[in-house]
Amino acid sequence: MKHTRTFKTTMLGALLAGISTLAACSAPATLAPLTSTPVSQREAPIATANMWGIENVDLVPDPAIRYGVLANGMKYAIRHNETPKDSATVRMQINVGSIAEQENERGLAHFLEHMAFNGSANVPEGEMTKLLERQGLAFGADTNASTGFDATVYKLELPKTDAATIDAAMFIMRETAGELTIAPEAVNRERGVLLSEQQTRNTFGLRQIEKQLQVELPQAPFGNRLPIGTLDVLNNAPASRIKDFYQRYYRPENTTMVVVGDFDIDMMEAKIRQEFGDWKPVGPAGAPLDRGTVDPDAAPIIGTFSDPAVPVSVSLSRATPYTDTPNSVAVARDKLLDLLATLIVNRRLSKLATSADAPIVGGGVSLNPLFNAIDQASISLRGKEGEWKQALFVGEQELRRALQYGFTQGELTEQMANVDTLLRNAAEQQGTRTNRQLAEEIVGSIYDASVVMTPAEQLNIYNRLKPELTLDAVNTAFREAWGTGPNRVFVSTKEPIATPEQTVMTALAESSKVAVAAPIDVETQAFAYDNFGTPGTVTSDVTIPDLGIRAVQFANNVKLNIKKTDFETGKARYSMRLGGGQLALPENQPGLGFFMSNTFNVGALEAHDVNELQQILAGRAVSGTIAAGDDAFVSRGETTPADLELQLQLLAAYVTAPGFRPAADTLWQNAVPGFAGTIDATPMAVAGTQLPAVLAGGDKRFGIPPIPDLLARNMAELEPAIREQLANAPIEIAIVGDVDEQRAIDLVAKTFGALPARAATMPDYADRRAVSFAPGNKDITLYHKGADDQAMVFAYWPTTDDSDYPSVIARSMLAEVMQSLLLDEVREKLGATYSPGAGSFASDVYTGYGYMQTQVVVDPSKIDNVLASVREIAKSLRDTPVSEDVLLRARKPTIERLDKQERENGAWLSLIADAQSDPETLDRRRGRKAAYLAITPVDIQAAARAYLREDTMVEARIISEKLK
């Protein structure tokens, strides 16, 4: 399910997501305002509209976007972009979703999305995915679609922008837009796929959202029109009804094409006009989307939801009718004020959740339009298990505190620093935004009729508005957003609340009698970790020319790998690997690594607790924590060239002076009981938490240990377990991106290079690496607590680790071939599932450990049929070489993915993270493409004969405990 954009001006859309909850961002001194006259007091210019009819008062649109409208009413937007080079992103949005459906059509918008892959006038059923794979587009990763309440979006990620690929993309989109056949036999085959998806999505989370929408928006359609639809419609709707829906809404005037990538703009515009210019609607148009209404004067609404898996949560909100505001600087000012208020309250809630006696697990505030249907102010709290009243008290009292006393100047200064830097960094990095980022921003502007601007222009507006973003203005905006206070309360618990409305109202009345105190500013401390001693000396400095990697070693044995690229202007990605990770942790403390990965940052530093640290680092593009990986303790993230020094200081501080504070234990003990209900709530949850340990013979390092093990873990155990590792174990640092190599070397010399000498190599950990694929028997059954029509079925074949690289490549390609065949047989022909998968796992940590697998989400009644199909596929791969076409469809997307990784900093960071301690990874990188290209059908058959053996196959079922 997809929600619509929530900000009228896109300059604000990414800010909340971009501000870290631990160490956010900041910026240098601000630019002088461009005007001294408050924008809200200026005479507004007359609104103008772009070619799409989007009104704009005084914003400056991105001039690189070419907008257009065809004679038939179809809209398009095209933008040239070269990140990544020679590739493109395509989005086609149809302005129809589930709220357009009549009662006997519930689910048809989504059903129709599926039918786009099941035959058109010029593409036979089952051939569209194959056609895309032959162009190098992987199913799911590069070819996808989504259906929401009010829009359906078709998505392609083109690995090339040559004529053949562009032609294929435009052809497929045109077929989808107006040429689907929707044949009855194809519809009937697809029903099973839709039912499988409906079963998979039938989780407590979706049911919770559905109930909340029904309760809070009784005069709007959303709570009774989830896109997944109803079983009755999915089972029984005839093809004619689906086709009627298609013709009513899949029309040129409802459609927008967005294409961003490395191509000639004129050529792309001509392609769109050529392909879509002759598209004509069929029959009468569908009715406009009815978004409903809300009565702000109605009595307060109390709603509750209960499920054994749901964590405790409380939401207090105010809903008022949606106000459509013009695109203007004045509106941008109002939204910035709302945003700053939101960030301040969120910061307060974060402090409460990470305090030594934390009353809640977490929480947040939002002030946003919802679905372009209502204006909503909300505060949501995640409570401790069994303590919904406490969460309600916190929400009511913190909201009242903010409304009664407002915010402090210190709070505003901190969040202004975060917003300032995020916008400034975005402006500096705008030249290397990805095709996908740009395309999604343009698509987002369709939802709320907003103006797409460059980050530089967004920063320009922000700097003009800064004099108006005062404490009084922020306080006033927050109070105006909440008006007379919440008019909806929604509480979720594991057990039902008796007489819920009366009980919740009584709790609210009780909370309202508690006096709240005014907030107090706390003085910001200086960062205590900016001097680590005498800078280290370089003992080795080697350049690897063919890969563009610089490998440096310091006298204390710290290693540094650098890869300078121009893929992301103004951004540097980093990695730190230290010690042995899970291999070094005690065997008798299962879950300690999981505990560390989730709480280490809350332990913070000796000199600063987590909240002090967040205040100190406000406005700086740094982040920090250390997680327990399989064979190393790892920190990984991104920063800017300007903040690289502080980032390295922060990481070095985590290594030399971790806090191990009890607040981390409190947060853990508060969070785990609520999490406990989710680990077996669905087949997918059981597959991720329990099944991995079963396959590894009960080794609790795989998956997630049982809840009692998790609750037993604490900082008192973690500190002695990793102190020696932090002090003495090998460290390898990698930096990739927009980085000055010599400056990076100097900064590492001043931080990690200045530490006392460390071990040069890791212990072997041979006994800890000895893991066998040992599930105990060849027929595994595990149980979940969700709906009884939900199940997953797996087939496994033991292989080995990744020490034999040619074998790794062969197994990988065998898995890709199996994936294609599963799509053909289990999804398309059987109609048994919407998500069959195949893969090959070859461990680079655990000796001899590896397996091939297939996995299918399926109705329990179809498990035997699916397993029979899997066996038949395995047998066919053993008996007969695959066709060249099947191999092409499996290999082409793989090769395109490898080529794409050559232009991605994230992929380079993964490569050089341990380039000195494991140099074989570099040789494998050099030869991997040739190795994949060299694989033949005979090689695939040989791998199948070696590994996909009937006598070694292990079956695993995950079914409802009700079916025991």
- For residue 127, what pLDDT band results from cuts at 50, 70 and 90? confident
Q: 632: helix, coil or strand?
A: coil
Residue 552 and residue 927 in contact, taking contact as beta carbons nearer than 8 Å: no
Q: What is the pLDDT of residues 72-121, one digit of tens each?
A: 999 999 999 999 999 999 999 999 999 999 999 999 999 999 999 888 99
Orientation angle between helical segments 239-249 and 184-201, nearest 10 degrees: 80
User: Looking at the predicted structure, is the pLDDT value of residue 144 above 80?
Assistant: yes
Of 119, 112, 111, nearest to 196 (Cα)?
A: 111
In the DSSP assignment, the letter for residue 526 is P
Residue 353 and residue 381 in contact, taking contact as beta carbons nearer than 8 Å: no
What is the rounded average pLDDT of the residues 790-799?
96
pTM metric for this prediction: 0.93
Residue 857 and residue 835 in contact, taking contact as beta carbons nearer than 8 Å: yes
- For residue 831, what pLDDT band results from cuts at 50, 70 and 90? low
Tokens, residue 122: 């010029």
Instruction: Give whole-number Cα distances, 484 to 190, 297, 377, in Å.
Output: 50, 10, 11
Give the lowest-confidence range in 320-324, 833-837, 880-884: 833-837
What is the rounded average pLDDT of the residues 755-770?
96
Q: What is the pLDDT of residues 371-398, one digit of tens each?
A: 999 999 999 999 999 999 999 999 999 9
Average predicted confidence (pLDDT) for the chain: 93
- CA 108 – CA 623 distance, rounded (Å): 44
Q: 559: helix, coil or strand?
A: strand
User: Looking at the predicted structure, is the pLDDT value of residue 29 above 80?
Assistant: no
Query: How many Cβ atoms are within 10 Å of 766's Cβ, its own excluded?
Result: 9
User: Looking at the predicted structure, is the pLDDT value of residue 3 above 50?
Assistant: no
Residue 771 and residue 696 in contact, taking contact as beta carbons nearer than 8 Å: yes
Q: What is the pLDDT of residue 27?
A: 28
User: Looking at the predicted structure, is the pLDDT value of residue 42 above 60?
Assistant: no
Instruction: Give whole-number Cα distances, 470 to 38, 65, 185, 404, 464, in Å.
Output: 12, 34, 64, 17, 13
What is the rounded average pLDDT of the residues 867-880?
96
What does 341-392 look like in DSSP terms, one character per residue?
A: HHHHHHHHHHHHHTSTT-SEEEEEEEEEEETTTEEEEEEEEEEPTT-HHHHH
Which residue bears the tokens 């009084």?
472
Q: Give me the amino acid identity at 725.
A: Q
**For the chain, how big is the Rg over CA atoms in Å?**
28
- Phi, psi at residue 701, to the nearest 5°? -75, -15
Q: What is the pLDDT of residue 19?
A: 37
User: Looking at the predicted structure, is the pLDDT value of residue 309 above 70?
Assistant: yes
Sheet containing 143-147, strands listed edge to edge, beginning at the edge strand earlier in sequence: 65-69, 75-80, 255-261, 88-94, 152-158, 143-147
Q: b/e map of 114-138 (b: 16 or more CB within 10 Å)? A: bbbbbbbeebebbebbbbbbebbbb
Residue 60 and residue 455 in contact, taking contact as beta carbons nearer than 8 Å: no
Q: What is the pLDDT of residue 14?
A: 37
Q: What is the pLDDT of residues 407-427, one digit of tens each?
A: 999 999 999 999 999 999 999
